[in-house]
Amino acid sequence: MPRHLAALSAMALSIVAPQWAGATTYTRDEAVRIALEKSSDVKTAEEEVISANSQVDAGYGNALPSIDLDATVTRIFGLDDVNPSDSSMAMELISLGQEKGFGDPSPWDAMALGAINGVVNGMKSQAYRWQSSVGLTATQILYAQGKVGTGIEIAKAYKHVKEVNLENTKANVRYNVENAFDQLIFLDSSIVILHQSKDMLQENLNFVEQGLKSGMMTELDLIRIQLKMDQLNSQINSTEKKRVLARNALLNTMGLEWESEVMFQGDLRDPLQGYTYPDTSMANVKKRRKELVMLEASEEMLQKNVSIEEGGYKPTIVLVGGLKYSNNKNHFYQWDAPDWDDNINKYVALNLKLNLFNGMKTKEAVVQAKSNLRSTQIQKETAERGFRVQIESCANTLEDANSQIEIAKRQIDLAQKNYDLTNDSYKLGRETQLNLLNAENDLRTAKLGYMQAIVNWNQAYNALLQATGEY
């Protein structure tokens, strides 16, 4: 390889950028690491994993008993005070009997009157102005047509989807950072090439200015090369602005604020190093492509969801047990001490619930669940076909990129020879200035084209790695 081409190859494979004191410099690996830590996409995916883990824990919680504490205080207005020891009802009945000539009550009559008095007072006690209760209830689902266990399995499948999504998000962030990094390499090296071209043009400008003074050159020759110099300066300025935008875009992808003095340092893959061709076997691609893994996990999740919806046709059996303390008084501050046999109600209940008709809700829920499952299956089938097309397209692009590198190498060699011969002839007066300027422009274009070919190869190689799931 000619020396000028070897030097250009070295430059095309690495960022050649000015350094200054105090500048923050990131390598490719550092840029990727920071992006994986700070990218908003990665952070969002991590939060989704946390949420999915919580749903698994909540699913297990559904299998455990539910214990609830309930406390109620009620104030009823418009009631008189209740006196449980009041025996006025019995005394009134005795007095009335004596007035009628029945005499004093017998022991049996006294017992009957006492019972009546107790009933009256019991009825009164239900109407205390302050009625309070505290209850503790435990509920355990015994059978729920598999909803609890299946719900846990769905939560686990959803968790797996989110974990794979996190891995896929990281891979995409890494892919975007490296492509942006490659673009910076191209722009930085392009600026170097443009400045080298400017040096050559300046040399010719100096030659024309000397020739104009000696009468060998015309003012038209000077104007031509000055126009070329202005155009080149404009191209350098435009490329430098593009580099600033590309740098800020990379910082944004990394999750960092824009920083005017930040620098990036790294290199590209050298196609001549013989990198291993990615594995394009569809059997292996299906195992590696994270999008397909997520669709398979979603399919499993939706299959279980069909089972849950079909459970609506089956009964639910729940065991309920509880304790309830009640206190009814005329005043809020009056409380009876809890007594296990007196004012604490104990109960155990077994509840069976079977829906007989709900307006076809269960039937339609099953239909919708099956439809969602089929939609996911169709997406998976479509994705598999799409992967084949994507891999074929990326493989063709990589093959074309290899061909373009070889063409770009020949173009540089020919453009360099053409410029050297034209420049020598021009200085001897055997070649026109216009041909010299065209030769210089062709050489610059060939160098930029070679650099672009190297970048295109790297991007095509990355794309094929991504398409095969190896990225």
Q: For the chain, how are helix, strand and coil distributed in percent, rounded to 5?
A: 65, 10, 20
Nearest 5°: the CA angle 173, 468, 273 is 85
What value does the mean pLDDT take over residues 309-317? 86
413 phi and psi, to 5 degrees? -60, -45
pLDDT: which is higher, 76 or 168 = 168
Token digits of residue 258: 């824009």
Count other Cβ atoms within 10 Å, centred on residue 335.
12
Question: Strand pairing partners for 132?
Answer: 73, 327
- CA 127, 128, 130, 132 dihedral sign is negative
Q: What is the model's pLDDT at position 17? A: 45
Give me the DSSP letters along 61-116.
HHTSPEEEEEEEEEE--S-----TT--HHHHHHHHHHHHTT--SPPHHHHHHHHHH
pLDDT band at 126, cuts 50/70/90?
Answer: low
Q: What is the pLDDT of residue 104?
A: 61
The pairing of beta strand 316-329 with beta strand 344-353: antiparallel
**Mean local confidence (pLDDT), 465-469:** 92
Kindly list the distances between the CA atom of residue 447 and the CA atoms of 39, 206, 262, 456, in Å, as whole numbers in the listed order: 35, 24, 27, 14
- For residue range 228-263, list pLDDT tens digits in order: 899 999 999 999 999 999 999 999 998 888 877 788
Q: Are 198 and 229 in contact (CB under 8 A)?
A: yes
SS (H, E, C) 111-164: HHHHHHHHHHHHHHHCCCCEEEEEEEEEEEEEECCCHHHHHHHHHHHHHHHHHH
Taking the mean position of all CA atoms in its chain, how far away is CA 458?
27
- pLDDT at residue 119, rounded to an integer: 53
CA atoms of 109 and 101, how far apart (whole Å): 15
Q: With a cut of 70, say whether residue 39 has pLDDT above it.
A: yes
Rounded CA separation 300/153 (Å):
9
**What is the pLDDT, as a whole number, of residue 48?**
95
DSSP sequence for 284-335: HHHHH-HHHHHHHHHHHHHHHHHHHHHGGGS-EEEEEEEEEEEEEESSTT--
Among 35, 299, 301, 48, which residue's Cα sits nearest to residue 164? 48
Cα 460 to Cα 175: distance, rounded to the nearest angstrom: 12
Buried b (16+ CB within 10 A) or exposed e, 103-130: eebeeeeeeebeeebeeebeebeeebbb
Position 1 pLDDT exceeds 90: no
Q: How many helices (H) and strands (E) does the chain have?
A: 11, 6
- Scanning the structure block, which residue is given the tokens 């009335």? 96
Which range of 98-102, 176-180, 340-344, 431-435 scores highest in mean pLDDT? It is 176-180
The band of 20, judged by pLDDT with boundaries at 50, 70 and 90, is very low
- Rounded mean pLDDT of 180-199? 91
